[in-house]
A and B are shown apart, each in its own frame.
Chain A
Amino acid sequence: MTMRDALNLALKEELARDKSVFLMGEEVAEYQGAYKVTRGLLEEFGPKRVIDTPITELGFAGLGVGAAMVGLRPIVEFMTFNFSILATDQIINSAAKMLYMSGGQFKIPIVFRGPSGSAFQVSSQHSQAIESWYAYFPGLKVVMPSTPADAKGLLKSAIRDDDPVIFMEQERMYGMKGEVPEDEDFTIPLGVADIKREGKDVTIVARSLTVPTALKAAEELEKQGVSCEVIDPRTIRPLDIDTIVESVKKTNRVVIAEESHPFCGVAAEISAEINERAFDYLDAPVKRVSGADVPMPYAKNLEQLAIPDVERIIAAVRDVSYL
Chain B
Amino acid sequence: MSSRPSEQRNRNSGAAGVLEPPKTKSQSSAQPNQLTEDRETLVKMFRQMLLIRRFEEKCAEAYSLGKIGGFCHLYIGQEAVCVGSISALREDDYVLTSYREHGQALAKGISADAIMAELYGKATGCSRGKGGSMHLFDKDVNFLGGHAIVGGQIPLATGVAFAAKYQETDRVALCYFGEAAVNQGAFHESLNMAQLWKLPCIYICENNMYGMGTSLERAMSFSDVAQKSCAYEMASEFVDGMDVLAMRRATERAVKRAREESLPTLLEARTYRYMGHSMSDPGNYRTRAEIEKHQERDPIKTFANQLKETQVISDDDIAQIEKEIKEEVEHAARFADESPLPDPNELYTDVYANPLK
Q: Interface residues, chain A, CB within 8 Å of chain B?
A: 22, 48, 53-54, 56, 58-72, 74, 89-90, 93-94, 98-107, 109, 138-139, 141, 161-163, 189-191, 238, 240
Contact = CB atoms under 8 A, between A and B. Distances in A.
A69 B130 contact: no
A48 B173 CA distance: 19
Nearest to A108: B353
Interface in B163-217: 163-164, 166-167, 173, 185-186, 189-190, 192-193, 196
Contacts of A62: 152, 154-156, 158-159, 186, 189-190
B149 A102 contact: no
B352 A99 contact: yes
A22 B190 CA distance: 19
A105 to B, nearest CB: 4
A99 B356 contact: no
B77 interface: no
A163 B159 contact: no
B190 A67 contact: no
Interface in B121-142: 125-131, 135, 137-139
Given A64-B159, A161-B354, A59 B192 contact: yes
Contacts of B96: 66
B158 A103 contact: no
Given A59-B155, A162-B354, A67 B129 contact: no
A107 B125 CA distance: 18
Given A54-B193, A98-B145, 7 more contacts: A63-B162, A66-B96, A66-B162, A99-B351, A104-B350, A105-B138, A138-B351
A63 B127 CA distance: 22
B96 to A, nearest CB: 8
A101 B135 contact: yes
A66 B189 contact: no
A287 B172 CA distance: 55
A90 B185 CA distance: 12
25 contacts: A53-B193, A56-B189, A58-B155, A60-B193, A62-B152, A65-B155, A66-B144, A66-B155, A67-B166, A68-B159, A69-B156, A70-B94, A89-B149, A90-B155, A94-B147, A94-B152, A100-B130, A101-B135, A103-B125, A103-B130, A103-B137, A141-B352, A161-B354, A191-B356, A238-B357
B157 interface: yes
Nearest to B185: A58
Contacts of B131: 101-103
A189 B356 CA distance: 9
A106 B357 contact: no
Contact of A99 (B125, B126, B353): B353
B156 A94 contact: yes
Contact of A72 (B158, B166, B351): B166
Contact of A59 (B137, B166, B193): B193
Interface of B: 94, 96, 125-131, 135, 137-139, 144-147, 149, 152, 154-164, 166-167, 173, 185-186, 189-190, 192-193, 196, 349-354, 356-357
A59 B158 contact: yes
A60 B159 CA distance: 8
A53 B127 CA distance: 33
A93 B156 CA distance: 11
A103 B159 contact: no
B336 to A, nearest CB: 15
B352 to A, nearest CB: 5
A58 to B, nearest CB: 6
Contacts of A48: 166
Given A48-B166, A90-B155, A106-B144, A63 B352 contact: no
Nearest to A191: B356
B163 A56 contact: no
A238 B146 CA distance: 28
Contacts of A100: 130, 350-351
Given A66-B157, A101-B135, A103-B126, A71 B189 contact: no
